[in-house]
Structure formats: C-alpha cells, structure tokens
Structure 1
Amino acid sequence: MAVAIFLYGVYQRFATYARGSEDPTERLSNLPGRVVSAAKLVASNEKQFDRDLVAGLMHTFILWGFLTLLIGTTILAIDMDVWTKALGQSSFFVGEFYLSYSLVMDAMGLLFVVGVGVAIYRRYWVRNQRLWGKHTSREDDAFVWALFLLGVGGYVTEGVRILGTGFPSFETVSFVGWFVADVLSAAGVDGSLAAAAYPAIWWSHSILALGFVAAVPYAKPFHMISSYANLVARDADAGRRLPRVPADASPEEIGPSEIEDFSWKQLLDHDACTKCGRCSSVCPAKAAGRPLDPRDVILDLKSYREGVASGDREEVDIVADGGTSVIDASTMESCMSCMACMDACPVDIEHVTQFTEMNRRLTESGQMNKNVEDAVMNAFQKGNTFGEPDRKRPDWADDLDFEVPDAREQSVEYLWYVGDYPSYDERNQHIARSLATVFETAGVDYGILYEDEQNDGNDIRRVGEEGLYEMLAEDNIAAFDDCDYEKTVCTDPHSYNTFSNEYDQFGFENADSVYHYTQVVEGLVNEGALGLSGTELDDTVTYHDPCHLGRYNGEFEAPREVVRATGVTLDEMPRNRSDSFCCGGGGGGLWMDFDEEPKPSEERIREALEDTDAGPDVDRFVVACPMCMTMYEDGRKTGGYEDDIEITDVTELLVEAIEASGSAAASGVSETPAAAD
C-alpha cells in the first residue's frame, strides 16, 4: 500500500509537469550522459560543500546513510519475502554476509543519525538564519524529525532484539545496536521484557518508515526525486544564455501571465526547491534590503500553483505592478542578474531565466520601471543608454597622442568593441584610453567601429526588452560583418557575455572568437610585449570579480595575472571568484534608484577594507568592468570611503606600471583617474 501511494503521488507530480508549456531549451539530449552527470553531482554532494563545509558533511552523512539503509532494507525484504517465502530457498542472511551487512548498516546508520542530528542542531539551536523564512512550516519540522526518529528507531529496534535474544556473540558487529542493548539492560530492562516488547517496537518503526515512503511525493521529501530530476534536465548555459522569444508570439504570450505559461522544467524547478536558503543568503538584492528573496519567488509560484489546483486560491496575474499578483514588479526590478542564486543552488534551479521572463511580461504589459524605460528608449533612439549622438561615441579617443585605427577601413586582428560606458562616461573614458595605450604599446593590430557601434543589449535583454535586444544584436552583427577581422575584444564583461553566448542566436558566426580585454592583455603580459618586470608598483590591492566575467563565464585568473604582473600585492576579499558579491549594477540596476541600506557597492568596499588580511591598508579596489567602476565610484562617495581607498581598473594599473618601467611611448592618458572623475 505504501509503495502504491508513493507511485501514484509521483505520477501526479510528473503529470503536472507534462501540463506545463514546452521548454525552449533542449533538456533531455544525451540522456544517459545527463543521468550519469547528475548522479555524480548527487553522490559527491559537491554543491552542498560550496560556501558551507558543515552543511556539506551533514548532507553527505544523511544522503549516504539514508541510501544505505534503504538498500539494506530492500535486500532484507528480498531475502525474507521473495528468496525464502516465494522461491523457497534458504536465507542468504547467514555467515560472513550477515556479519558484513550488520556492520555496514550500523556504521552508515550512525552517520545518518549524526547528520540528522547536526541538521536539527543548526535549525533549532543555532537557528541558522537561511533555514528560516516566509515558507518555513510544520512540514519542515515533520521532515527532519521523521528522519531522526527513523534513524534512532532503527537502533532501538535492533537493541531490543539483541537484548531479547540474549546478546548473541556474533551481534557485536552491530556495535550501535549492541550499545543500545547495553543501555537498556543497565536501565533495568531484562531479556523477557525486551522479547515481549519487540513486536510492538518493530511495528511502530515499520509503520513510521512505510508512512514516510508513502508521504514522499506529497511533501518536502519529494525533493529527493525532483532535485535529481532537475539536475538531469539542467541547462549548463542557463542565465548567461537566455532563450529567444518565439517569432510568432503575440505580446500577450510573452512572459508568464498564468501558471500554465511556465514550462515543464520551470514547474520542476519550483518543486525541486528544498527551502535551504542558500540563494537567499548570497543574494545582493536581499542583503541590501530590496524586496527580493529568490527562494520566496520560487516558493510563492509553487504555493500559488498548488493553491489554484486545490481550489484554495483564485487565479491572479503572475507578475504585476501592485495589486494581487503572485510576484510584485518591484521584486523583479530588484534582481541584478548576478546569478549568485543559481551558483549557490545545490539543485540547479534557474532563477535568472524565470525572473527575466517575468520582466518580459512586465515590459509587454507596459509596467517597466520609469528609469529603465528611459535608458531603453535612449538605446532605441540613439543606440546607447546615455541618449548621446552616435557621432560622439569615439570622442574619448580625441585626447590620445595617437589615432585609434578604424576597423571599418582596414583589416585588423582584433575588432575592439568599446561599449557605452567607456565611450560616453567621463570616468570610464579613462579606461578606454588606458586600454588603447596598452594595445599601442604592445603593437596589437586592432581597430574600433567608431559611430557604427551600438549598445550590446546584454542588460536590455535582462530587463525584459527582448525586441530591442534583437534589434541591437542584429545591428551590431551587421556592423561586425562589414569589417575584416579575426577576433572580437570587449571592454565590458556584459558585452563579452552576450557576444560569446547569445549573439549566435541571431546569426553571429564568430562567437567562439570573443575575448574580454583581460584575456588578451594576459597574453601580452606573458609574451613580454609590455616590458614589465613585475616590480613596478608596490601598492596593496584587492580585486573584484565582475559577475559577467567570473561567475557567468568562469574567467577568474586572467585579470589576476595581469594585476600581479604590475608588482602589487594582491589581497583577496573573502567573497571572491564564483562567490563574488555583485556591485549592484547588473540587470538594469545601474539605471534604477533603490532605497537600500547598505548599497551593494558600499558593502563590497567595506569588505575590502575590513575583511581582507590587509584591512585598511588596502590602497586600491581593482575592477575589470566599466559598470563596476561606475557603481564603486558611487559607493565610495555615498559610503564615506573617498579618503580610504581608490577605485582602479586593471588597465589603469597596467598603464601605471608601463610608465613606471619607462617602456611606454607617450601615452596620452596623463590625467589621473581622480582628475577625470
């Protein structure tokens, strides 16, 4: 009966997914490979260890203890109910097999109980903040205590059996059960009482175990199945490569307006959530006090679906600006598209993809944030988010003592996409001039598009304006196609991401030849093309990993190699590489005003000055992204850090080292960043 109830529940769950819309991403290609890869992730618990060693060990103990007990109980059932009764064979639970079985079951069962005990300790005594939230309920209590009672109950049952059978000597291999029997004996329980009580204890344990099996598909334990299924169906490019809107989709069909609009994989995402709160604990929007908690968004959608299905909730809009919608527009506007939630999620829930689709719904229904709308309109009318004329795009190069080559008029090795901020923002123009100086010093064969360059569209897409993104992508691709070049190099990691991961959706054929400037410059440094000895500068610096370069695309070492090549001492912040903390500018955050305390940029600078080994002796906060530069210069002012630290781009640091080495020609970047600011 328990198995029948379990199977029916699983069928109901997967029938729900089948009613979801078709997913735009191929989820089940190379299914055997996916199954094996997901099994490796589950077996190793590698994602559980990320950022939390104790949680990783705890989950490993619980997982492998539970699986061992499940397999062991199944073997016992086969022996008792199939092998001996149905087939009339002699039991194989004898001799060395039985002794080995008992030892392994006791050892792994002990790990299981220890793991569950640690979970209880962290939840109720330590009260780990990320384990508690809006959706914490009695279901969570029932789950963890049921596991604990199953583990302890098994040992109590074993101990009573050993005591009731007179402590057979071979049972010493069941060392935990033997210990329990000793404790019961010391407490005054004799063999006859234990033998009499054994049937009641056995049935109590069995009913709890079978009840747990039957309840799995209907409550939190279902994550043991849904999480694995979610890992099998995961998209390795989720977040950094967003799906296209179907060409024949009407405005009403863009983005989810009702629960049926979510794809089957997105519905599976909702069920796979374990409420662990890892996403919430790393979300910079939540840390800043914005109205976003990634876990709550996923679980709100799940609760709404279940409420509508049971008739306990009326159907409303999925996302809207105010009203009774499931998700409020301000929640989606708060997302920085930094992908920290996805990186931290142990079951690969694809938050950013779903959040972007809800932003698309807001855009199509005319509910876009006013500041974002202004930036989007500027990009539509002028090709840049500043609303400046195209002819001013190359003005940043006017102060250089050399002419920047025009890639439209000559063949080049590197087509340099400069980007909006290095072209129009005064502070970031210094970065553009610094990078041009590096290229000139190293003799790089490069050129730019001048006024034919347009906004890359990466963040336009992530705020939900898919139509404009497609237009910008097609215009940029057309401009690229008119040039004779081999590779593309980007100043901005946001450009690097969308060119290399998304532009091929619109016919871009050179996506495999796109580089961030730090990757190109690393090669120049290693080749000795810049004449550096590695002793030019003696500052102490820390480096901030931009989300779109690091977490999105896995490039962590190139900028660090360039920074170290200048001679500075690099002191890492605790949150670095894939654990980096977002500046707050992604996902349209650069264009919005939020009532937040502290700003993500302020918190990050505080981390640099307080949590690094050097602490207040850190001289510079080094970035490799124009948006990061803008956000951190702002955070330095609003956080009161202007006299404490300097914000420097990798290229600016490099140019200082080149000039200090005496190997640079006239640079044309004589003004300091502070003067440019």
Structure 2
Amino acid sequence: MTPLAGLLFQSGAEVTRPTFWRIGPIGKVLFYYLAAVAIGVFLVGSYQRVMQYTEGRSESFPRLDELPRRVVAAGRTVLSNRTLFDGDVVAGLMHAMVMWGFLTLLIATTILGIDMDLYRPLTGESFFTGQFYLSYSFVVDAMGLLFVVGLGVALYRRYGVRTERLWDRHTGLEDGAFVWALFALGVGGYLTEGVRILGQSFPPFETVSFVGWGVAVALERIGVTPDAAATVYPVVWWAHSLLALAFVAAIPMGKPFHMLASFANVVARDDDAGRRLPGIPGDIEATNAESVTDFSWKELLDQDACTKCGRCSSVCPANASGRDLDPRNVVLDLKEYREARDAGSEAVPIVADGTESVVDSTTLESCMACMACMDACPVDVEHLHSFTRMNRQLVDQGDVDPNLQDTFQNVMREGNTLGNPQRERGAWTEDLTFDVEDARETEVEYLWYVGDYPSYDERNKKVAKSLATLLERAGVEYGILYEDEQYDGNDVRRIGEEFLFLQQAGHHVETFEDCEFDKIVCTDPHSYNTFQNEYPEVDFEKFADDPMMAVDVDGSWDGAPVYHWTQVVEELVESGALDLSGNELDYTVTYHDPCHLGRYNDEYEAPRELIEATGCELVEMPRNRDDSFCCGGGGGGLWLDFDDDPKPSEERLREALQDTETAGEVEKFVVACPMCLTMYEDGRKTGGYEDEIAVVDVAELLVEAVDQRTTTEPAAVAQPADG
C-alpha cells in the first residue's frame, strides 16, 4: 500500500475521485433540483423569521452601530467557544468539536460545489486532484471524526447520564431530532465514503481518508464484496444526500435556526445589558407588554437564539431556592406563545396575577435581578430586559405584591423605602465625634451618597459610621446631602416602577447640579450602578410636559465620576493615607461578591485588597467573583416574603462554612453591600448560624484594623527641654 508521502508525487489525474459516481445524469439533475428547493425553503424560511423581528419595538440604544466591529467580535466569541467553556469544560469541548467539524464539512461541500459548478465549466479542468485532493480528504476525514465524536458526547450527556439542565418541560422531539440528525449526517458521510472506497476496490491513495478507509475494511470483513458495495452505493448516497437537504430546509423551522440566531444575537449584544435597562417612551399611554409586539426586536431574537441548554436555570438562585422561576422557561414560554399567535391562536395576557397568562406575576417577583442568568448564557440572551418589560406591565395593571406597593408608597411619601421621616436621614451622624459636612453648603471632593439602609437601619448605621471614620482619618474632603438625599431608584426600576425611578433620578440630578463636588462615592453597589450607568441615560426633556415629572434639567445629566466606597478607600490605603501594616487582624474570613458590584460592574479586587490589607486570611467560596451566588435581596427581594427552602442567604452561609478550602475555620462572612448585610444577618438567624459565623462589612474590618494599629503604635519618646 502506497504511503502518504509517496502519494503526494502521484499524477494529479490519478489522485481524485469521481463525483456523482454511479448516480447517472437523471439522478444528477434530480439532485440539483432538490438542492435548489432545499436552499429556497431555507432562504424563504429565514426571511420570514427575520421579518418577525421587524414587528418588535425599536431599541432605545444602538444595537447595530459599528457593525463590522461587532461582527468580528462576535466571530471571535463564537469561533473560540469561549462562553461555552465557562463552568462546563466538557460541554465547551463537545460544542467546539461539533461546531468546527460542522463548519469544516460545510466548507468542504462548498469547495466541491465551486469545483464542479464553476471552475470546471469555465476552465475545462478540475482543481480537485493531486495534492489538493489528498490534503482535502485528510482534513475532512479528521474534522468529520471530531464532529461525530462531539455528537456522541452530546448524545451521551443527553441520554446516558441525562444531564439535568438539558431536560425540562420545553424539551421536546425537535431537541433530540436535531442532535440525531447531525449524528446521522456525520456517520452517514463516513458510510457513504466507505462504500465508495470498497466499491472502487480500495484505490491506494484513499488511505488519506483514514476513517472512510477503516469503514471500507470493516465492511469487507463482514462479507460485503466490491460488486455489492458498488450496487448499493446509489442507495446509500441518496439516503445521505436527502437527509442533508432535508436538514438544510428545516433549519429555519425549529431548533437548528439557533445556529444563525445565536450568532446574530451575539452581534447585537449590549455590553452594558442589565446594568442599564431599556428606557420607556415619553408617552405615558404607551404599553409595555400587552402583546408580543411590545417586546423589542432584540428581545424577540433572544427567544430564537435560546438553545435550551439550561445554563441560566442551573445558576439562578431563585430556581435553586424553589421559587417559581426558571429563566429559560420564561424566554421559551414567550417564544411558544409568539409562534402560537402567528399560527392564529387566541390571545391571552402576556403577564398577570392569578389569571391565565403566558407568565405569572409570581414568576417575575421571584427574580432577584442578580444577572447570573445573563452571565451564564453562552449566546447573550438578555433575560433581564424582557423581565423588566413584563414587570412594567404588572405595575401598569396594578398586579403588584402589596409589600412592593407599600415600598412604592414609602418612596413617594418619605423619599426612602423604609418609610422613615426624611428629616432623620442624617441623624446617624450625631453619634460621631466629628462633624460630617453638608455637601449642599460646602464644596467637597466627594459627594457621599449614604443610602436608605445605612441611614436608617440600626445594623447598617454601624457601616455608615465606620466608613465616615475611615474617610475622616484619611483626611478626605467629603459631605452628604442630609434630608435632600432620597432613595436612588435602582431596584424599584427593576421591579417595573419606571416613573418612580424617573422621579427619584430627577430629584437627585437637580440636587447634584446645585452642589459643588468632584466625584460621587456610594455605600451601596445598587446606588453605584444606577448613578453610573442609568442616570446619564435618562432624557428628562421627553417628560418635560408631564407635571409629575417637572425636572429642571436640560436633556440628560452629563454625569460625574462615580465610585463604590471600596474603590476610594483602596486608593487611600495604597497611598498611605490610611496607615496599615497588613497584619493588624488575624481572622479567617470569606468574602461575598455583591451582584451589583461584581457581575454588574466587574469590580472584584478592591474589596479583596482591603480585606487583605487588614491582615485577615481570605479564603474563597467555590462560587466567587462572576459566579457569586445572590443574597436574595435584589429585584425587590428585600421587601418580599418568600417561603424559600433554603433561603438564598442560608445556602450561601452554608457554602461559606462547609464548602470552602478551610471549612470550619471561617470566622467572618464579609460583605460590601447594605442589602447583603441585611439579608445575611437574617440568614444567620433563620439558618441557625448565629453561633458559627459573624457577618461584617469590609468597612467594619478596616476600622477595627485601623484602631488596632493605633493602639499598638509605640508611644513617642519625650524630648528634653532646651537648656
């Protein structure tokens, strides 16, 4: 048998294979006709899909600006399979093998078509010979093998070990048919190749097609003769060809369309999705989610891009706590209803409380707006945008939990979510041994937005006092707004009260513009997010004619540098303004990443560096940084009552005590968010962890370290008087 190295020097005329071998001219014409039909069905079906998106609402910010850059960036993401490796290496490898194998086979088929239908008719020659053919055959066989192996892994995960997240009420026949069809195409291609090689009596150069050659050898050993292989070849070829053409035609009609929709979804992604939300029309009569067409075209595209992989479901803290929420199912319920409406089914409410609807209000109330689902999604489905649109519809309809209604009333009457008198907003400063400047009257470097809970909640007041102490000792020029500070509006916006958010934003922007400061520093990551990412997006001129929204601001607020307090204090520690040696404390601690600081705004290191600056030993929980588990307070969860078992806060504390590398040694559970502090103090009590772990804020650790440093410094040596 001639080795590959020698084959490269054979004549090009000998080293090739006949196309349409034993098919005949009628069969060839029939194939081209069926191919044209399949491609036509694919193009028409894809066009109809795209036209459905045009029925959706326009987006409030650009999705297709700088399109070449977006396409290149999406290509890098998709071709690298980067998002698929996150959290599941096996799934990432499997998908990479399938995708690259599929693309190679598609490219190979295209090359063969170019040779047969363009190059040969124009030149009378073929480039599908010699070294090119040998290289082509080897690469196609190798990549096709990866394709089949990858699909084998997919089938094993689906039907062998039955990976839990792949199965749910939206799992149907089309999901299995999609994988099996691809697998049959891969195996059928090798079978067709093996039958041809056997039927042609093993041309020596075909050893480069090592898989096909192996199939031919196996067929020969079970008794198939070359004549029998030649006889049956047309049947095998037509079976493979018809399956391939049927697959092409079916792409726009079901799950295979995600191959196109997913790429388009990554192209149209918003880098700030979640941390900023779509604006609402200036027309107060506009609907939010009364019908399918109230959703934006990107939200409709999200539905088609969803691959049913269940990654969002597996990381959702509401789903893990037994609440009535599975992010995947919400997206797929909307898709199913949209397709049913297109087929002429009766309309029902998109979202409602206690009546027949596509999505129930309790499902949306369960959402913590933690963005874990969006972070886990490999195709950039922006769940939170659709959820917020439906929450706005619930507010419009009055289908809102009474606890949330009470919170809205508190904000409207008193300017804070707890309903406490606004005149007491700055009362916490009275216990300090120094004065806190009034930023309305004094020019400062930092305008400090304290927040509701640090201003009123007894436990969180300790954090506010600790932070004030740190700023004072570092000599920072800072001030607060006292009774002119109100609730920032971040979470009421995420539960649908857009106009209340706009009122709060308008109040603060007016107040900010009346003050003289360089930067804003926030205690709460929620405030940090909304000041930095959402207030500058509001166009107040759109609401100038609304008496409820009379704001003396022209257009949008041009903003100011906004920081979370850990970012500011980190700089103070690095500069030496807060003198720490790095060994003041010797606790073993773990740190919980707040969703609005971490996943929302990619700040993971500042709090950790501050913890380490105190001398504490920091051990990480298994779920940390962008994989952090939510405390349960976001998206209105702080104001709602759920019968969770376990509560998200209880589950997180269990993880800290039992799943860290130094399980049983963690003494303090460290947070950097007032909401997290509130939720975890509650979780300590309800979960029975009061005697096992303490919950502290980073600021409290720092103050303890600074106090420790002060008390251990050696006294100054007295100098003798002159003379």
Write the letter of the residue equivalent to 1:39.
G
Residue 417 of structure 1: CA displacement?
0.3
Alignment match, 2:550 = none
Matches of 2:349 and 2:259 in 1, distance apart? Answer: 31
Alignment match, 1:351 = 383
**C-alpha contact (below 8 Å) 2:509/2:557 kept by paired residues:** no
Matches of 1:261 and 1:451 in 2, distance apart? Answer: 39
Q: 2:165 aligns with which of 105, 130, 137?
A: 130
Write the letter of the residue equivalent to 2:623.
R
The equivalences for 1:294-305 within 5 A come to 294-305=327-338
Task: Output one character per residue of 1:158-206: Cα deviation in whole Å (capped at 9) or x when no partner.
Answer: 1111111122221111111111112112222221111111111111111
Alignment match, 2:524 = 492
The equivalences for 1:33-44 within 5 A come to 33-44=69-80
1:329 aligns with 2:349: no
The equivalences for 1:82-231 within 5 A come to 82-84=118-120, 86-87=121-122, 89-231=124-266
Matches of 1:121 and 1:529 in 2, distance apart? Answer: 59
**C-alpha contact (below 8 Å) 1:415/1:489 kept by paired residues:** yes
Distance 1:625 1:333, change over 3 A: same
1:57 aligns with 2:93: yes
Structure 2: stretches of 5+ with no match in the other structure: 1-36, 539-554, 714-723
Alignment match, 1:282 = 315
SS of equivalent to 2:629: coil
SS of equivalent to 1:51: coil
Alignment match, 1:542 = 590
Matches of 2:582 and 2:256 in 1, distance apart? Answer: 55
Matches of 1:488 and 1:291 in 2, distance apart? Answer: 38
**C-alpha contact (below 8 Å) 2:288/2:390 kept by paired residues:** yes
Write the letter of the residue equivalent to 2:496.
G
**C-alpha contact (below 8 Å) 2:454/2:464 kept by paired residues:** yes
Alignment match, 1:590 = 638
1:517 aligns with 2:569: no
Write the letter of the residue equivalent to 2:323.
R
Q: CA RMSD in A?
A: 1.3
Matches of 2:166 and 2:124 in 1, distance apart? Answer: 50
Residue 25 of structure 1: CA displacement?
2.2
Matches of 1:512 and 1:186 in 2, distance apart? Answer: 77
The equivalences for 1:433-448 within 5 A come to 433-448=465-480
The equivalences for 1:639-654 within 5 A come to 639-654=687-702
Alignment match, 1:675 = none
Residue 509 of structure 1: CA displacement?
4.2
Residue 663 of structure 1: CA displacement?
6.7
Matches of 1:120 and 1:157 in 2, distance apart? Answer: 22
Alignment match, 1:67 = 103
The equivalences for 1:625-640 within 5 A come to 625-640=673-688
1:260 aligns with 2:306: no
Write the letter of the residue equivalent to 1:93.
F
Matches of 1:172 and 1:536 in 2, distance apart? Answer: 71
The equivalences for 1:6-21 within 5 A come to 6-21=42-57
**C-alpha contact (below 8 Å) 2:299/2:385 kept by paired residues:** no
Matches of 2:711 and 2:634 in 1, distance apart? Answer: 37
Residue 82 of structure 1: CA displacement?
2.7
Residue 664 of structure 1: CA displacement?
10
Distance 1:220 1:24, change over 3 A: same
The equivalences for 1:358-507 within 5 A come to 358-506=390-538
Matches of 2:280 and 2:296 in 1, distance apart? Answer: 13
**C-alpha contact (below 8 Å) 2:520/2:560 kept by paired residues:** no
Matches of 1:125 and 1:275 in 2, distance apart? Answer: 18
**C-alpha contact (below 8 Å) 1:286/1:292 kept by paired residues:** yes
Matches of 1:437 and 1:483 in 2, distance apart? Answer: 23
Structure 1: stretches of 5+ with no match in the other structure: 666-677
**C-alpha contact (below 8 Å) 1:441/1:664 kept by paired residues:** no
Q: 1:576 aligns with which of 615, 624, 629?
A: 624
**C-alpha contact (below 8 Å) 1:227/1:273 kept by paired residues:** yes
TM-score where L is the length of structure 1 = 0.96
Count how many residue pairs are aligned between Structure 1 and Structure 2. Answer: 661
Write the letter of the residue equivalent to 2:525.
P
Write the letter of the residue equivalent to 2:473.
T
Task: Output one character per residue of 1:532-578: Cα deviation in whole Å (capped at 9) or x when no partner.
Answer: 11111111111111000000001011111111111111111111111
Task: Output one character per residue of 1:123-150: Cα deviation in whole Å (capped at 9) or x when no partner.
Answer: 1111111101110000001001001111
Write the letter of the residue equivalent to 2:136.
Y
Matches of 2:389 and 2:47 in 1, distance apart? Answer: 28
| Further displaced range: 623-632 or 253-262 | 253-262
**C-alpha contact (below 8 Å) 2:438/2:482 kept by paired residues:** yes
Distance 1:155 1:512, change over 3 A: farther
**C-alpha contact (below 8 Å) 2:590/2:620 kept by paired residues:** yes
Matches of 1:92 and 1:260 in 2, distance apart? Answer: 51
Matches of 1:254 and 1:174 in 2, distance apart? Answer: 60
Distance 1:209 1:663, change over 3 A: farther
Alignment match, 2:326 = 293
Alignment match, 1:319 = 351
Task: Output one character per residue of 1:395-421: Cα deviation in whole Å (capped at 9) or x when no partner.
Answer: 111211111111112111000000000
Write the letter of the residue equivalent to 1:352.
L
Matches of 1:407 and 1:262 in 2, distance apart? Answer: 42
Write the letter of the residue equivalent to 1:533.
S
SS of equivalent to 2:696: strand
Matches of 1:204 and 1:324 in 2, distance apart? Answer: 46
Matches of 2:672 and 2:193 in 1, distance apart? Answer: 61
Distance 1:393 1:22, change over 3 A: same
Alignment match, 2:658 = 610
SS of equivalent to 1:447: strand
Matches of 2:127 and 2:457 in 1, distance apart? Answer: 78
Identical pairs, percent: 64
Matches of 2:481 and 2:260 in 1, distance apart? Answer: 52
SS of equivalent to 2:699: helix
Which one has the largest radius of gyration?
2
| Further displaced range: 200-209 or 500-509 | 500-509
Write the letter of the residue equivalent to 1:636.
R
Write the letter of the residue equivalent to 2:41.
I
**C-alpha contact (below 8 Å) 2:392/2:498 kept by paired residues:** yes
SS of equivalent to 2:319: helix
Write the letter of the residue equivalent to 2:60.
P
Matches of 2:711 and 2:195 in 1, distance apart? Answer: 83
Write the letter of the residue equivalent to 1:579.
D
1:559 aligns with 2:607: yes
Task: Output one character per residue of 1:56-114: Cα deviation in whole Å (capped at 9) or x when no partner.
Answer: 11111111110000000111122123322x33521111111001101110111111111
Write the letter of the residue equivalent to 1:522.
E
